[in-house]
Chains A and B, each alone.
Chain A
Amino acid sequence: MTEREVKRGGVRELSPIDVYMLLPKTNCKECGEENCMAFATKVVNREVVIMQCPPLLKKEYEKAYKQLSEMLKPAIMEVTIDTGDRAVNVGGKLVMYRHEFTYFNPTAIAIDVTDEMSDDELLGRLKKTEGFKYGYIGQELKLNMIAVRSTSDDVEKFKFAVKKVVENTSLPLILCSFSPTVLESGLVAASKRRPLIYAATKDNWKDMAELALMYDCPLAVFAPNDLNLLRSLVKTLKEYGVKDLVLDPGTFPNEGLTDTINNFTMIRRAACKRDDELLGYPLIGTPIVAWAESEGAPEVSAWNEAYIASMLITRYADILIMHSTEGWALLPNVILRQNIYTDPRKPVAVEPGIRTFGKPDEKSPVMMTTNFALTYYTVASDIESAGLNSYLLVVDSEGIAVDSAVAGRKLTAEKVAEAIKESKIEEKVKHKKLIIPGKAARLSGEIEELSGWEVMVGPRDSSGIPKFLQEKWK
């Protein structure tokens, strides 16, 4: 089945030695690492890329470079849409399950506009898409692309709409039409932007392939619920010379969900576990279909679209096209995406220990929380935004949130007593009062016994801290 010439090293089997053997082995430090072995280890862990080894790029190492590239090639090809600073990379996945390594290139979410929208509506949607921002554990969660759909099927209208989009946004584009003539008019308007062409089908593949080659753009392949056709089209387009492909096996809502999830799963398994190169491309899902299927309140369409999107983020979609710009529908999805794409090799935890906020003195309150990053950042931001002078004792709960840590005995009275002692907070304040999270109330008696500190049970959510201190901290 595989058409790969060199066997790609499975992520798990690939050892730093395999990479090291092909490096120049001069320990020149030009890459910034201490030696070639350290560099090789980082390469295997996907923390650096081989291009960061300057000698390797020289003519004499050409063969080794090629071998390394092949060895490190991801199961899912990485496809770049747009160019320069604007570019978004999709795919590039090394594994099927996130615990096997880690997922790269978070699912790019595109919001649609059409060539029949009024100026106001179109520009408004661009603005909303670009303006979408949510601060989450020190990151800014955003939307990534604009999909321009030709609902008119009219060459001039599409060209005009794409032109307007190009002039008003720097987000990468997906141009959507099954008509090659309409699509080309968009490509002309979006020159320099290397948009994703959506899509080649069994009927138009030849013309779409010509467009992809002529304008040097990635091409999506649409074969709804027909994996034989999808795979055949990929083979054909590859032979035709189109390198960058994105696959759409169709997103079906409601009773079609089983086929949708099966197709995405089978394609990813074939690529990652069976080395099927013809299916080793990024996947695109279209939760937007929920809008055509349901009538009635827009909340219901947005609701359906949102939950289908979430399932496809979990099951392997690399790009999603969505219609709703409602915050409540998008927020769970950008957060889920962030969660699924975090590196499972690294705990999302902060250093335990004492933190100071503002200019605390010997009478300032001492509060306590866990070292789960999200808990910590949430509490810290609540204290900071209220401008409170205080100490925060961060107890090691092995990176687990308060309620789960208490239930799972990762946060215990012993740990808290020990943290109080180690932090030397007793040298900084003249009182012995510890404010603990409301969700850790269960531990209060035991903490008092073990530490000799008086425990005050604080609010269940840190947003209640300012009010709590105002009322209870005298």
Chain B
Amino acid sequence: MTRRPDPVIRLHDYVLSSEGYAVRLLLGFLGLAHQRVPVDVHPGRENRSEAFLALNPLGTLPVLEAGFDEGSGPQRIVLREAEAILTWLALRFDPARNWLPESPELQAGIAQWLFFASRDFAPLARLRDCALRGIPVDPAPFARQAQQALSVVEDHLCEREIAAEAADGGEGVWLVGSAPTIAELAVFPPAALAWDAGLGLEPYPALWRWIRRVKALPGFTVMPGIYPDFASAYAAVPIVTSAASGAPPASPHS
């Protein structure tokens, strides 16, 4: 049997796109080689160009283009919407089905969070967009809706923590099931980037703990506005003391 050629994956993306980050996270977790095509969203408005609109008439990012061959000849797929891209990547490249399990109940639960991420976090996304570009808007109505969405995640995680506490001490609480899924990857970027919009996450302690669990997953990648878990990032750094700092500094009064 001849070896199938590796798939060619091209991700049209903007480095500050929260939705693009969701896809980058999964590509990182799956260790999938891919090409990044940067799109000059701001200030160039390249996503409104004819060439880009031919790829995605909505002008939204990210867009995934892939060429692959499953044995029946070369195929090509073009996908928009992070949630659709996450679904396809998980079904196509995660044979163990860790990220999108087979169980109908888990799949439906995941679909619920994918819709939630795109619909209920839209006001937060809009607030972030205005804050990043310095567009003056009255933040109050957006902030209220964003906080409602964050509270929904907080309450859900909190309930699951309480339920899990009895069983295993509260570790390993995820949005759906008992392991991380693409539901995490859709919800994590807008929630963890809320600071960009000027919304602090202090009122959401269970969300905080969940963010730390996501950051600790092997293959996790950061984006601007999201820092690694510093406790583990610094643990690997050797403390270097330069020769000069070995001796106490001369007193300016001596």
Decide whether A and B assemble into one complex: no
List B residues at the A interface (Cβ < 8 Å): none
